[in-house]
Amino acid sequence: MYGLTVRWSLVDAPKGTLKALRAYVEDESHAKFAGLDGLRFKTWRAVKGQWFEGSYVFVSDEARAAFQHSFEKTAKESAGSKIIGSKPILIEACEIVAVVRGPAGFRSSSHFEHERKDD
């Protein structure tokens, strides 16, 4: 499968940035990507004070390349960049070697309330 990683640094981001990113993902981004043609799934990941990233898996290299090309043109003005105050530090295509669905199943959600910690 065909992956893409987009990562922003949170090292110099203002206080509350991760909280703002969570709200953006929950209110807008999740729904936007739920309808993206060629996308198998996207995961939003973060380490508070260090980085925030989107990890994408596409059905084909063509779908991945088209999204990457389009995103690279507007990365500096993307919602994530505006919230964080800087452009991504990494936009990298990758190979997804394997995916497994564990016995606990897969849960698609715009947020995981029980996982949140104060900013």
Considering the domain boundaries, does residue 119 fall inside one? no
| pLDDT attached to residue 93 | 98
Residue 90 counted as domain residue: yes
Residue 113 pLDDT:
63
pLDDT of residue 52: 98
In a domain, 114, yes or no: no
Residues with Cβ within 8 Å of residue 19, at least 6 apart in sequence: 119
Q: What is the pLDDT of residues 56-79, one digit of tens each?
A: 999 999 999 999 999 999 999 999
Q: Give the Cα separation of 39 and 51 in Å (integer).
A: 23
Mean pLDDT along residues 100-111: 84
Q: Which domain holds residue 28?
A: 2-95
Report the number of distinct structural domains present in the chain. Answer: 1
Is residue 30 over pLDDT 70? yes
Judge whether 57 lies within some domain: yes
Q: Is residue 18 part of a domain?
A: yes
8: Cβ contacts below 8 Å, ≥ 6 apart: 51, 52, 53, 80, 81, 84, 86, 87, 88, 89
Query: Considering the domain boundaries, does residue 100 fall inside one?
Result: no
Is pLDDT above 60 for 119? no
pLDDT value at residue 64? 98
* CATH number of the domain where residue 51 is located: 3.30.70.100
Q: What is the pTM of this model?
A: 0.88
DSSP-based three-state secondary structure for 2: strand
Query: Does some domain include residue 47?
Result: yes
Is 83 part of any domain? Answer: yes
